[in-house]
Structure 1
């Protein structure tokens, strides 16, 4: 049995035995190392090398910032703000859900966190207003995927660390695709809402809108501080993550006063656990990717992909198909570590920008969050609305189609991705 077959068969076998993905990646790599005779002292060295990167320090800080702002009740304030401005329109609550997801994405950087924080409020509100359980849950599950496209995005941090590209630039590159995805979800929601007898809420007065804006301003400032600080040259993305964590704590404790001193310990523990899970995946997936590179598996896969694709357009089509399928089974971090070393060299050789590739890969994996059997956003939304996976899987189809349209648009017109960072001259 050759090395590649051993590695992937052992990985697949462990997955079929319901072993967690991170453990499957690490164990299959270790098995392959033993069989091929690689020195086992490389195992801990590579584990440390994968997680001992300054760039990855952004992950625990962004997690702490997102958890803090969630605890501070910013999700309620963002929903109220969006509702005051568009709640009275046809399909208003659906629009509120998408707009709020875009705002909250710029705070949390996590898809499941966006679904969990906003879904507990918006899904019941939509159901009470006459929307079906399936549509309400499917919309919030899909909108949660925007959380990994609009910066700050944890998968963007991971991709930047793997590909060696500017995290600041890929952050900026994710803004337009994220907004396009939000627009597509709004259009899909409006089409579906017209078929339902939805009672619109009264239009808010100018005073009510101003009060809602003032109430939410501290939360809205979070992405301004993060992105403004990075692109103003005041701090690096990693330092921006630390600043946002401190800002979140100060706002939660002294402005909104929802966070007490005793809550800080729980916030730290929750953020540490979430970060440890991501870092465990990073360590195991990085080991898997290192073994593939060391044994020449990545190069063989790249050469095969290049020979099969033939042209840039066919290559991009194959990339999307592979990642959409992979997203059904792998989390974003694992998939990025496995596929980036294979796809990036081919993209570079074909003249496709690495930043654009990172956004395309991440959007594919964001869509994977709503595709069974490992559609994590679907499970979170199901838990909130108490419906079955079968019900939500059927209801998510229109939103899946809308997301795929945006995906293929940005894939084949990469200037949509690169326009904003290029216009601002970000390197």
Structure 2
């Protein structure tokens, strides 16, 4: 997972930066833009919750469906995605791969951060006119239920792009050294100019352009620290403009399609739900019960960590949020019992990988949106694979802590366990209510997220009496920022996937994968290796959007069940996500735990081996994934 990295704010201060009155003026302008985008973004999250909740109430309680609720939610959703993208850019929270950049010195990192922002600005400038043209043409399309011009929805694209251009310019003016900005601008302009001059050469290369733009180009940009969404966008825009005759407006249309899928409406709602669970104390209650149950056995709190991550995983939409909800509760006591910091962060990372298939994982929802696989089936199929990997991790925990000294640990009484269970019961019930509602067809993944939000609010107010109203606005803004970062990646990756498909690459790949010697076992083995690598570089959502539409039909053709294949690739990506030295999820776990990455490098090898054993079991026995589908 390329977890959000605050890269833009890491630019080193030095000569050539604004000072005095100019700096104050720029600071005031930045705060003004922040208010201009953050308040609407927060209100749009609330509006989405309200509109979808009204739709659920009218449909399931009053049996009188509101025909325009989904359409209005879809219109608001694109505006939320674009405003959230602006907030994420202003905060420096668009997802990046910084493994190589982090190895460089402060000055080199500062320049590459400026280069990343300059390249993002170039993409936005290139897309501004096509986005305006796209929105202008949508004025002739009328929405079926509300009977309004579709340009009301499509206008979110040019408005969001213009706001992001303003943010990028302001960020460069505020935190970039003048020399760095000048050299970065020169590098970007020179690269674009050289590519334009070489246009006739690209036109004659055929599908070799796919290697140049989507492998070499994307690879260089990603490893230089450019945000993933803008790396995808620049490569796709360059390919379509220089190697084909496709107008840029088509790319805008594909991005719009990718970001507007109705299933993705659940992304911001589950992100907000996860923050509510942490704020109301529900996560702490779950962990407290598990600790009272297992805290007296050798390695007991490690088992609690595995179980707690299983319960809370997938609800927040952010693996970092899942880890942040659990680690601060458990780690102090685990350290007091003699656990080594490196082992703690290694196990935390491993549990992050273990729980990637636990519904309502956003990766599962994304797979359903881009491949057409039933989300209810994915939610059902994802539960048992997580348990299999949890058992594998538990076996290693038993071995490592078999000699742990527990003479100073008091075993909780039955009364204390019962009291902890009663306290935790409303919190423990929530994940099962969410999953059962989707699996049983009571509500869609989008609708059930609103039910979860209402449940969490009621539990926080009436049961746990822990509800800080002052945190709601920052939580709404955080939700919009994370959602915008995710959705912009999906939009850019959708455009790239469309370009790959139109080039004929999908047919070539399908033929190559289908003709692999060895049949299904070799296909699955190659997929595992490929998605481990992709998981360490791209993160689950963009990798699935890019390669899901290409590989899932192949799996179906050669006889691999789609749900089984989904579990395999998700777990493989999870291992890559948390495997150092490139897995960014590992560094997120280190940051949350405040433990040096060096300390966990050796202990995590054993946990990665345990995860690999669990993945092999899941891959070898399809029943683990599809046995309960009926």
Which TM-score tier does this pair reach, normalised by the shorter chain?
over 0.9
Q: Number of aligned pairs?
A: 422
Q: Superposed, which structure 2 residues align to 1:200-215 within 5 Å? A: 201-215=409-423
Which deviates further from its counterpart, 86-95 or 9-18? Answer: 9-18
Matched, 1:325 2:533: yes
- In structure 2, relative to structure 1, the CA distance for the partners of 1:291 and 1:364 (3 Å cut) is same
Q: Which of 27, 52, 60 is residue 234 of structure 2 equivalent to?
A: 27
Query: What's the secondary structure of 2:358's corresponding residue?
Result: coil
Matched, 1:11 2:218: yes
| Alignment partners' CA distance in 1, 2:457 and 2:577 | 29
Aligned residue in 1 for 2:272: 64
Aligned residue in 2 for 1:142: 350
Kept in 2: contact 1:101–1:143 (CA 8 A): yes
Query: What's the secondary structure of 1:420's corresponding residue?
Result: coil
Q: Superposed, which structure 2 residues align to 1:148-163 within 5 Å? A: 148-163=356-371
Kept in 1: contact 2:342–2:603 (CA 8 A): yes
Aligned residue in 1 for 2:580: 372
Q: Superposed, which structure 2 residues align to 1:225-264 within 5 Å? A: 225-264=433-472
| Alignment partners' CA distance in 2, 1:162 and 1:5 | 23
Q: Superposed, which structure 2 residues align to 1:319-398 within 5 Å? A: 319-398=527-606
| Alignment partners' CA distance in 2, 1:230 and 1:304 | 37
| Alignment partners' CA distance in 1, 2:519 and 2:441 | 39
The Cα shift of 1:374 comes to: 4.0
TM-score (norm 2): 0.65
Aligned residue in 2 for 1:111: 319
Aligned residue in 2 for 1:420: 628
Q: Which string of whole-angstrom CA distances, capped at 9 and with x for unpartnered residues, describes residues 160-200 of structure 1? A: 10110110110110000011111111111111112554556
Q: Which string of whole-angstrom CA distances, capped at 9 and with x for unpartnered residues, describes residues 369-423 of structure 1? A: 211344233112211333332321221111101111111111121111101222x
Kept in 1: contact 2:299–2:404 (CA 8 A): no
The Cα shift of 1:33 comes to: 0.8
| Alignment partners' CA distance in 1, 2:406 and 2:239 | 58
Kept in 2: contact 1:129–1:199 (CA 8 A): no
| Alignment partners' CA distance in 1, 2:483 and 2:543 | 18
Q: Which string of whole-angstrom CA distances, capped at 9 and with x for unpartnered residues, describes residues 96-128 of structure 1? A: 111111111264354222212111222232122
Q: Which string of whole-angstrom CA distances, capped at 9 and with x for unpartnered residues, describes residues 194-242 of structure 1? A: 2554556221111101110111111112122212222333211211112
Kept in 2: contact 1:359–1:417 (CA 8 A): yes
Kept in 2: contact 1:138–1:395 (CA 8 A): yes
| Alignment partners' CA distance in 1, 2:268 and 2:491 | 15
The Cα shift of 1:364 comes to: 1.0
Aligned residue in 2 for 1:425: none
Query: What's the secondary structure of 1:112's corresponding residue?
Result: helix
Matched, 1:43 2:251: yes
| Alignment partners' CA distance in 1, 2:613 and 2:333 | 28
Kept in 2: contact 1:111–1:147 (CA 8 A): no
Kept in 2: contact 1:323–1:361 (CA 8 A): yes
Query: What's the secondary structure of 1:308's corresponding residue?
Result: coil
Give the ranges of 4+ consecutive aligned residues of structure 1 lying more than 4 Å apart after TM superposition: 195-200
Q: Which string of whole-angstrom CA distances, capped at 9 and with x for unpartnered residues, describes residues 327-380 of structure 1? A: 121111111112212321221111101111111111111112211344233112
Matched, 1:75 2:291: no
Kept in 1: contact 2:380–2:439 (CA 8 A): no
Kept in 2: contact 1:181–1:403 (CA 8 A): yes
| Alignment partners' CA distance in 2, 1:234 and 1:317 | 37
Matched, 1:408 2:590: no
Which deviates further from its counterpart, 102-111 or 336-345? Answer: 102-111
| Alignment partners' CA distance in 2, 1:304 and 1:332 | 23
Q: Which string of whole-angstrom CA distances, capped at 9 and with x for unpartnered residues, describes residues 14-54 of structure 1? A: 12322122211111111101112211110210111001111
Matched, 1:186 2:381: no
Structure 1 residue runs of 5 or longer lacking an equivalent are 423-427
Query: What's the secondary structure of 1:284's corresponding residue?
Result: helix
| Alignment partners' CA distance in 2, 1:420 and 1:37 | 48
The Cα shift of 1:6 comes to: 2.5
TM-score (norm 1): 0.94
- In structure 2, relative to structure 1, the CA distance for the partners of 1:320 and 1:139 (3 Å cut) is same
Kept in 2: contact 1:111–1:145 (CA 8 A): no
Q: Which of 380, 396, 419 is residue 172 of structure 1 equivalent to?
A: 380
Query: What's the secondary structure of 2:602's corresponding residue?
Result: helix
Kept in 2: contact 1:222–1:244 (CA 8 A): yes
Query: What's the secondary structure of 1:396's corresponding residue?
Result: helix
| Alignment partners' CA distance in 2, 1:244 and 1:146 | 23
| Alignment partners' CA distance in 2, 1:409 and 1:200 | 38
